[in-house]
């Protein structure tokens, strides 16, 4: 019997996947989500879905996406049908993490391609800067000695030349070594430094080959950063992606954060230093202008570097005197140094010089540098004048001596932008994650933050048996972390000892600040050593991937993590049996963007704590809880040490948002 090409016919208990896999476990939640996604696409409506861990979200949206993208095949196969009877439906799948992208592209989509009797193309979309430009690589190799003073960089360039002769992909992901930023920047594909069809290497261009695959693709897999970079460009009349009819955001709880980053503005001292040194480095006498023997621009570049140093010194002084601890800027800084004018002069000078060159390849290189000067000048002018009125502006300092300056700007509320530029223009947007709802059912918080006025909603529990497999331990008799922070920190350390012993290690300890993480590390390190537990701390600066590898391999490992370890970390099996949450994950309103968001809520008569900080913390706590049970056979406990989850009225919101499991009060 031929099974229908429907979510039920593919994901159901007797469906095509069940017939292919002998150990297939039908999940009603997965089928319910797939049918909801299918209906949303068919009815051209938006959909918000919370689907607990283990639902199988990726198949639940990929199957209806594939069916929608290939509907033209069904129309063509019908009696008297032709391809022209059905319009193409292009679908974008956007994820936050690389690991989920890799799962979709290397595992889930190839499997579905093998199971389904449908022809569809799925393409992993990477930013243009991930691809090598064969023309730029050739020119960089020809003048390597005038570009690079470091022999290691010259050697890396030689390695890139060898690789370019054998690669069929041309992207950084297929390189066996990681080139220095200065080297890759000289050879990567760049919109402003591209001759298009006039390029002598156009027929072999690896970026354009990838681009053609994207433009012909049915399903495009991107990350949130690239998606919102494209959305920002569309506001200016350009695009990175072809037009699409449906977008699915997996890991949608991160959308507001990523969108705010890409719909704002950032100008840094590092950007300007890098641009000027690329043009001319007076210490090494290297750079693009040396190759062209453009001495007047070399002189101007050197002068601008001194002007830039003076401007950023002024801005550091302004921040110290007028901006408070978080660097927020409420009025235009009264700086006396003018960097905008000389940057523009340099940009125009480069463009004029380029017009006199006979080589089109060298022309476009200088024109690209010219545009970069003018773009940075425009961004700097906008920031110094606080040009984006509905945004918050601030100054960040970094580097060992706090000498690197970042001028940041982000829209306070992105809801209006997304409503106008995304939800009203794209027929179907699907938002899904294991953590979107507050108090078990309400999507009001995420919908309000993102400007999503109308959408179907679905909240699905995890198929995992949390009652049997997970225990929630609530600590009793703990000091209040706000009223008595030092006493609380000591009590937390005492409880960590107790609960780490319960599982003989194999624990995550999640913190809301690196300060407390480091303090607890200092207090507990000798105890861990004497009890033969291995302590892995994110505060030591070890890369997250390496920390996880070491933790997974250590049967008595304990990992102290903050921020990034609350989400996107997957340690199934016996390696992780204990998640200790030291504090409810409230965002401290010391970041300028959060501070401005809370002010905006307060100014319209709302309660910032209950409207924003509590629901945001609830979603983050659900993420932390979700680190424990990653498969049907996982077992363990989650410990919440913060007494406010029991003593404050809002504590019930946190507890009611967690999976139904056994609760224990640990006095």
d(CA 418, CA 405): 30
As to burial, measured by CB atoms within 10 angstroms (0-12 exposed, 13-18 middle, 19+ buried), residue 587 is middle
Cα distance between residue 583 and residue 436, in whole Å: 20
CA distances from 451 to 95, 222, 429, 588 (A): 20, 22, 12, 24
Please answer whether residues 69 and 89 qualify as being in contact, where contact means their C-beta atoms are separated by less than 8 angstroms.
yes
| Spatial separation of the C-alpha atoms in residues 499 and 473, rounded to whole Å | 10
Is residue 153 classed exposed, middle or buried when 0-12, 13-18 and 19+ CB atoms within 10 A define those classes? middle
List strands edge to edge, sheet with 391-398.
265-268, 404-411, 391-398, 328-329
For residue 222, the SS3 value is strand
Q: What is the mean pLDDT of each run of 10 residues along the chain (667 residues)?
A: 86 92 88 97 97 94 96 57 59 91 92 93 91 90 84 91 90 87 88 85 89 93 95 88 96 94 93 93 89 92 96 96 93 96 96 91 90 96 90 92 92 94 96 90 92 96 93 94 94 97 96 95 96 94 89 95 89 93 92 94 95 95 94 94 95 94 90
Going from the C-alpha of 199 to that of each of 134, 205, 450, 506, the distances in angstroms are 10, 9, 42, 56
* Under 8 Å between Cβ of 351 and 367: yes
7-121+416-460 in CATH: which number?
A: 3.40.50
State the fold for domain 265-411: 1.20.120
Q: How far apart are CA 254 and CA 224, in angstroms?
A: 8
E strand segments, 278-390: 328-329
Please give the structure tokens belonging to residue 472: 């929630």
> How many Å apart are CA 39 and CA 49, to the nearest integer?
13
Give the whole-angstrom CA distance, residue 391 versus residue 316: 21
CA angle 259, 261, 267 (to 5 degrees): 150
Which residues of the chain are in CATH 1.20.120 domains?
265-411
Please identify which residue in the block is written with the tokens 């089928």: 31
319 φ/ψ sector (left φ>0, alpha ψ -120 to 50, else beta): alpha
Residue 495 corresponds to which tokens in the numbers above?
């409880």
DSSP state of 106: I
pTM as predicted: 0.90
Is residue 64 within 8 Å of residue 430, measured between CB atoms?
Answer: no
Tell me, what's the pLDDT at 84? 43
CATH number given to 466-666: 3.40.50.300
Q: How many CA atoms lie within 13 A of 47 on its CB side?
A: 29
First to last CA, the chain: 61
Per-residue model confidence (pLDDT) at position 85: 39
CB burial readout 82-95, b (16+ within 10 A) else e: eeeebeebbbbbbb
Q: What pLDDT is recorded for position 315?
A: 97
Tokens (6 digits) for 544: 């997250």
Q: Supply 563's token pair.
A: 């921020």
Q: Are 25 and 441 in contact (CB under 8 A)?
A: no
Residue 213, CA distances (Å) to 124, 162, 169 in order: 9, 25, 12
Q: What beta strand segments (E) does 18-68 contain?
A: 47-51
Question: Using CB atoms within 10 A of its CB, is residue 116 exposed (0-12), middle (13-18) or buried (19+)?
Answer: middle
How many residues belong to the chain? 667
Predicted pLDDT at 77: 52
Based on its alpha-carbon atoms, the radius of gyration of the chain, rounded to whole angstroms, reads 27
């Amino acid at each position: 019997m031929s099974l229908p090409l429907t979510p039920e016919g593919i994901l159901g208990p007797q469906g095509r996947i069940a017939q292919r896999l002998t150990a297939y476990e039908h999940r009603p939640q997965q089928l319910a989500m797939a049918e909801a996604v299918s209906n949303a696409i068919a009815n051209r409506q938006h959909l918000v879905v919370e689907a607990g861990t283990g639902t199988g979200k990726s198949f639940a949206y990929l199957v209806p996406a594939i069916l929608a993208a290939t509907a033209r095949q069904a129309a063509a196969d019908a009696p008297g049908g032709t391809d022209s009877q059905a319009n193409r439906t292009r679908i974008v799948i956007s994820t936050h993490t690389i690991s989920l992208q890799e799962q979709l592209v290397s595992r889930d989509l190839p499997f579905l391609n093998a199971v389904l009797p449908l022809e569809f193309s799925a393409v992993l979309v990477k930013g243009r800067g991930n691809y090598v430009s064969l023309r730029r690589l050739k020119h960089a190799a020809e003048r390597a000695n005038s570009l690079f003073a470091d022999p290691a960089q010259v050697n890396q360039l030689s390695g890139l030349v060898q690789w370019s002769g054998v690669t069929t992909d041309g992207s950084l992901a297929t390189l066996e070594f990681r080139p220095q930023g200065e080297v890759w920047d000289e050879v990567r594909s760049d919109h402003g430094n591209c001759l298009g069809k006039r390029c002598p290497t156009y027929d072999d261009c690896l970026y354009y080959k990838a681009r053609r695959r994207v433009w012909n693709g049915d399903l495009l897999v991107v990350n949130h950063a690239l998606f919102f970079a494209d959305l920002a460009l569309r506001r200016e009349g350009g695009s990175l992606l072809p037009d699409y009819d449906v977008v699915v955001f997996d890991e949608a709880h991160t959308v507001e954060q990523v969108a705010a980053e890409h719909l704002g503005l950032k100008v840094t001292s590092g950007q300007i230093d890098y641009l000027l040194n690329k043009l001319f480095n007076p210490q090494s006498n290297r750079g693009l202008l040396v190759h062209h023997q453009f001495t007047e621009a070399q002189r101007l570049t050197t002068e601008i570097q001194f002007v830039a140093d003076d401007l950023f010194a002024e801005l550091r002084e302004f921040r110290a005197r007028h901006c408070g601890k978080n660097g927020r800027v409420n009025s235009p800084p009264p700086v006396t140094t003018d960097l905008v004018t000389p940057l523009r002069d340099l940009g125009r000078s480069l463009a004029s010089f380029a017009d006199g060159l006979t080589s089109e390849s060298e022309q476009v290189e200088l024109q690209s540098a010219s545009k970069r000067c003018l773009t940075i000048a425009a961004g700097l002018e906008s920031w110094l004048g606080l040009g984006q009125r509905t945004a918050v502006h601030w100054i960040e300092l970094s580097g060992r001596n706090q000498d690197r300056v970042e001028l940041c700007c982000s829209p306070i509320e992105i809801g209006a932008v997304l409503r106008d530029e995304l939800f009203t223009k794209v027929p179907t947007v699907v938002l899904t994650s294991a953590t979107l709802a507050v108090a078990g059912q309400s999507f009001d918080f995420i919908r309000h933050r993102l400007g999503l006025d109308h959408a179907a909603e679905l909240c699905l529990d995890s198929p995992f048996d949390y009652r049997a497999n997970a225990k929630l331990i609530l600590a009793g008799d703990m000091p209040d972390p706000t009223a008595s922070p030092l006493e609380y920190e000591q009590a937390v350390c005492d409880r960590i000892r107790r609960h780490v012993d319960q599982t003989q290690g194999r624990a995550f300890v999640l913190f809301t600040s690196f300060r407390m993480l480091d303090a607890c590390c200092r207090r507990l390190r000798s105890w861990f050593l004497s009890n033969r537990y291995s302590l892995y701390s994110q505060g030591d600066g070890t890369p997250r991937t390496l920390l996880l590898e070491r933790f997974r391999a250590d049967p008595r490992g304990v990992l102290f993590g903050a921020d990034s370890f609350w989400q996107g970390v997957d340690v199934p099996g016996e390696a992780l049996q204990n998640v200790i949450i030291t504090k409810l994950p409230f965002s401290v309103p010391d970041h300028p963007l959060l501070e401005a968001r809370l002010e905006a809520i307060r100014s319209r008569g709302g309660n910032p704590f209950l409207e924003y900080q509590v629901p945001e913390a609830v979603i983050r706590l659900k993420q932390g809880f979700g680190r424990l049970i990653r498969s049907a056979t996982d077992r363990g406990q989650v410990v919440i040490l913060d007494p406010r989850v029991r003593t404050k009225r809002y504590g019930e919101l946190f507890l009611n948002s967690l999976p139904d499991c056994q609760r224990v009060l640990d006095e």
